[in-house]
Amino acid sequence: MAAIISASELLSELAASAGTPERRPVLLDVRWQLGGPPGEREYRAGHLPGAVYIDLDTVLAAPPGPGGRHPLPEPGAFGAAMRLAGVRHDRPVVTYDGGQGWGAARAWWLLRWAGHRQVRVLDGGLAAWTGELTEEVPVPEPGDFRPRPGALPLLDAEGAAGLARDGLLLDARAAERYRGETEPVDPVAGHIPGAVCAPTTENTGPDGRLRPAAELARRFAALGAGPDTPVGVYCGSGVSAAHEVLALAVAGIDAALYAGSWSEWCADPDRPVATGPHPG
C-alpha cells in the first residue's frame, strides 16, 4: 500500500465506503506543533467526519527521559489507545495533521512499526482537504489492533553511530541546528559525527505536499542514498525524522528511524558532537 493518499483520493474512498463501515478508513487527527499547545482545541473546532483526535505527546510517545524528548510509547499502552480509536488490523488507517505532516507521519511510522500494514498519510494534511468538516466527536467501535513491534527498522544510539560511519545517516533538522549555530530545544548544539544535513522541510513544496517521488529520489541520491547503502534518519526527538522516513518511502527507499534522535544522543556527555556544515 502507498504511504500517502491525496485529498481527492480520500474523498473517493470515503464516498465508496458509505454504507459499509467495515471498508471505511479509520481517520486519526494528529495535529501537533513543536512547543505548541495540544491540538485538541483545533480538532474540536473542526475535523474530518469520523476522525479521532490522537495526542502526540501522550499517545505517540512515552514521557521524556534519558531516551529523548519523545521516546517510543510502551507497545501495550499504544495498542490500547489505538483500539479505543477504532483501529483494526483489517481496516486501512489514514493519519493527518494541520498540514506540516510531522504529527501524521509519527502516527504512520508507529503503526507501521507496530505491524499495521494499511496506513497512509493525508498528503498536505488538513490544509489540502476540500471536503466537509465537523465538530462532532465520534465514539468509535473499539478496534482489535495489537502491536507487533519490529515491522520497520529502528535504530538506537549505537546503530545510528554505525550508520554514520558505514552507511548514510540523515539529520532531518534545520541546517542551522545541524551546524550547531543555534539549538532552541536541546541542551547541546551540533550533530552526530558523520551525519549528513537533510532538512525535512526540503521534502515538501510550498503547498505542504510531498514533492513527486522522482524528485525526492533525486534529492536523496544526491545526499548519498544508493541501492546498496543502508539509510537512517534522526531529528531532534524522532518526530520530523518520521516525516523524512515517509518521504524516503515515497521515493522507494527503506530507511531506519533513530527514535531517540538528537535529544537522546546529546544527553550523554560521552557521545561525540560535530559542528559546522560538514559531516565531521
Q: Annotated active-site positions, please? A: 235
* Cell triple for 102: 510531522
Residues ≥6 apart with Cβ < 8 Å to 235:
171, 172, 173, 200, 241, 244, 261, 262
CB contact burial 52-82 (16+ within 10 A = b; e otherwise): bbbbbbebbbbeeeebbbbbbbebeebbbbb
The helix (H) or strand (E) run that includes residue 222 is: helix 213-223
Coil/strand/helix, residue 96: strand
The helix (H) or strand (E) run that includes residue 84 is: helix 75-84
Torsion, Cα 151 156 159 160, to 10 degrees, reads 110
Question: How crowded is the C-beta side of 129, counted as CA atoms within 13 Å?
Answer: 23
Q: Taking the chain, what is the end-to-end CA distance rounded to the nearest angstrom? A: 38
d(CA 220, CA 217) in angstroms, rounded, equals 5
d(CA 25, CA 196) in angstroms, rounded, equals 37
